[in-house]
């Protein structure tokens, strides 16, 4: 007698929602692209099925908790399905945009390490070794992050799957989220196919990448100097000035819009000032150039 087959989470999701994922496959074209670019090791059909499955699960799991919460605050239980639907929609949105965030993170990592990786590849190519050896040596340097991983994929395609070096490079290039790294790989591919001088090509690309890196670094440092002046004026001087005024008003007494002065001071110190500082840090992080 054959044992019952083991069903894991992915299989259950595909069994229940596989046909639905196929039916609406055309609506998830951009998501499929981001799944391949994000490096998530899962088929797009399976991932879409999982999105539908966890959204459905979150709806039914949240129902009793939402109902219990509403009972404490004397709200109508008829709001329960609506709020649970909101929870389900939030889960769907988070799962849907996760590959986008993952692809964006990989893109930043590729662009950040690209100037140094090209310089290293140029130095290796000077010795006259074939392209396969260049990528093999590059894959051994974990300091280059995602670039080292992409180089490992190229070597895997050659040594494990038996592809030639041009096919291996093309397959990897088609799924990288970084436009600059994609351009580099296709440039190497074109140079190999046309019998060009790979050493000269990498030397030129290395010089260009390092020059752009220095320019962007100088521009960012100048911008940081401006941000520092803004931070000093708005995030340090202005709060101290306002708190001093509120402290004097607190001695005099009175309220503002029905709130006591002490409550306004506490809200500013423990909520507004930390929130604005966190927002400023996030602004600095997201405005940082990718090649920095």
Average pLDDT of the segment spanning 35-54:
92
Q: Is 291 inside any structural domain?
A: no
Q: Are residues 275 and 254 in the same domain?
A: yes
38: pLDDT strictly greater than 50: yes
Instruction: Quote the pLDDT of residue 5.
Output: 47
284: pLDDT strictly greater than 90: no
**Domain C-terminal end among 47, 70, 103:** 103
Q: Do the Cβ atoms of 47 and 82 come closer than 8 Å?
A: no
Contacts of 75 (CB under 8 A, 6+ apart): none
Q: Are residues 204 and 215 in the same domain?
A: no
Over residues 197-226, the pLDDT tens digits come to 999 999 999 999 889 888 888 887 888 888
Model confidence band, residue 77 (pLDDT cutoffs 50, 70, 90)? low
Residue 24 to residues 1, 19, 21, 56, 287, Cα–Cα distance (Å) = 39, 9, 5, 17, 36
Query: What pTM value is reported for the model?
Result: 0.74
**Domain C-terminal end among 209, 242, 265:** 209
Q: Is 292 inside any structural domain?
A: no
**Domain C-terminal end among 83, 103, 123:** 103
Helical residues (DSSP H) of the chain, grouped into ranges: 9-23, 29-38, 44-72, 80-125, 131-139, 146-159, 165-173, 179-194, 198-230, 238-252, 261-267, 273-286
Q: Are residues 114 and 53 in the same domain?
A: no
Q: Is 130 inside any structural domain?
A: yes
CA 239 to chain centre: 33
Q: What is the 3-state secondary structure (H, E, C) of 146-190?
A: HHHHHHHHHHHHHHCCCCCHHHHHHHHHCCCCCHHHHHHHHHHHH
Q: Are residues 15 and 99 in the same domain?
A: yes
Residue range of the domain that includes 34: 9-103
Total number of domains in the chain:
3
Q: Are residues 234 and 185 in the same domain?
A: no
Mean pLDDT (the chain, rounded): 86
Q: Are residues 236 and 252 in the same domain?
A: yes
Model confidence band, residue 1 (pLDDT cutoffs 50, 70, 90)? very low
Share of the chain above pLDDT 70, in %: 92
Q: Do the Cβ atoms of 146 and 183 come closer than 8 Å?
A: no
């Amino acid at each position: 007698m054959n044992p019952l087959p083991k069903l894991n989470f992915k299989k259950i999701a595909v069994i229940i929602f596989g046909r639905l994922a196929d039916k609406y496959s055309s609506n998830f074209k951009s998501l499929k692209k981001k799944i391949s670019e994000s490096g998530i090791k899962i088929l797009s059909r399976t991932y879409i099925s999982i999105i539908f499955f966890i959204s459905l699960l979150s709806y039914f799991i949240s129902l009793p908790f939402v109902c219990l919460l509403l009972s404490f605050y004397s709200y109508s239980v008829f709001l329960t399905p609506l709020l649970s639907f909101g929870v389900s929609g939030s889960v769907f949105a988070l799962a849907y945009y996760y590959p986008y965030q993952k692809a964006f993170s990989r893109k930043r990592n590729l662009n950040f390490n690209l100037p140094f990786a090209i310089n290293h590849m140029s130095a290796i190519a000077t010795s006259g070794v074939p392209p396969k050896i260049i990528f093999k040596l590059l894959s051994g340097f974990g300091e280059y992050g995602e670039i080292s991983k992409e180089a490992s994929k190229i070597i895997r395609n050659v040594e494990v799957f038996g592809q030639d070096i041009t096919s291996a490079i093309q397959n990897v290039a088609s799924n990288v989220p970084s436009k600059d790294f994609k351009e580099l790989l296709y440039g190497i591919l074109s140079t190999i196919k046309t019998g060009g001088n790979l050493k000269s090509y990498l030397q030129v690309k290395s010089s260009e990448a390092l020059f752009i890196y220095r320019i962007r670094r100088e521009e960012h440092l100048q911008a940081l100097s401006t941000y520092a002046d803004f931070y000093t004026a708005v995030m340090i001087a202005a709060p101290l000035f306002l708190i001093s005024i509120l402290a004097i008003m607190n001695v005099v007494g009175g309220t503002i819009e029905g709130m006591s002065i002490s409550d306004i001071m506490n809200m500013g110190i423990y909520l507004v000032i930390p929130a604005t500082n966190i927002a400023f840090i996030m602004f600095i992080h997201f405005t940082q150039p990718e090649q920095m």
